[in-house]
Structure 1
């Protein structure tokens, strides 16, 4: 398995960050650099999601874990390689700690991970900062 994660803390409550994360994954929110999401059903475990990264082809993912205000995870399979993306929200003093994690698993993960993983997760810090900006904007104007 190959893993990378990025953690940051926002002064916002978990609910505010969750609202932005949910809006993004439901396709109701987009911003510069964000993937575009199209849900094929409710925002719930088991629902398929079409994901289109900026400048790339669309791929299919499935929501595999969802606990409101706590965690969201979707998984994509490319042959025998699985990519699991997870956001975890933890209330901490003064706000919410958010971790965005990528796990690449499968028989070829040791070969594929070191090359593909950094390409996918290299912008987690920028993505997280933009998610926090959107969460604040939604909280102030939503």
Structure 2
């Protein structure tokens, strides 16, 4: 297994952050790691979507878990490994929200692909979370 977690605290309200997360069609407006996104349905468990990073091939994913206002999980299943990213909101203290992005790569090939693929996937987490927080605070 390979794993990485990044988090930032903000004064932005969880419902404001959640509103931006649940509006998948708008992700490319604030997430520079997404050139294009195609969504197969509503923001709900089981909905599939295809994200295209700038200059890269499209990546097929699906939402596997949602706890409204708290977290959602998306997964990319490559057969011999699965990339799972948890997007979570925590309340460490009154008036503060912690935005957490956590990626785990599991499966039989995780030990081989994780050290190369994991850092490539998570390299922009600081910029993505900063952009989300700036939008939510604005």
TM-score with structure 1 setting the length: 0.88
Kindly report which structure 2 residues correspond to 1:61-140, keeping only aligned pairs within 5 A, or say none.
Answer: 61-93=61-93, 94-137=95-138
Cα offset, 1:31, TM superposition: 2.9
Cα offset, 1:95, TM superposition: 1.4
Contact kept, 8 Å, 2:46 with 2:63, in 1: the verdict is yes
Q: 1:101 to 1:32 in 2, by over 3 A?
A: closer
Return the alpha-carbon distance in structure 2 between the equivalents of residues 117 and 32 of structure 1.
18
Helix, strand or coil at the partner of 2:26: coil
Q: 1:47 to 1:32 in 2, by over 3 A?
A: closer
Helix, strand or coil at the partner of 1:43: coil
Return the alpha-carbon distance in structure 1 between the equivalents of residues 39 and 58 of structure 2.
13
TM-score with structure 2 setting the length: 0.91
Segment drifting more, 36-45 vs 62-71: 36-45
Kindly report which structure 2 residues correspond to 1:1-40, keeping only aligned pairs within 5 A, or say none.
Answer: 1-23=1-23, 26-29=24-27, 30-31=29-30, 33-35=32-34, 36-40=36-40
Contact kept, 8 Å, 2:2 with 2:104, in 1: the verdict is yes
Cα offset, 1:32, TM superposition: 5.7
Q: Which runs of 4+ in 1 moved over 3 A?
A: none
Return the alpha-carbon distance in structure 1 between the equivalents of residues 31 and 107 of structure 2.
32
Number of aligned residues: 135
Aligned to 1:59: 59
Gaps spanning 5+ residues in structure 1: where?
Answer: 138-142
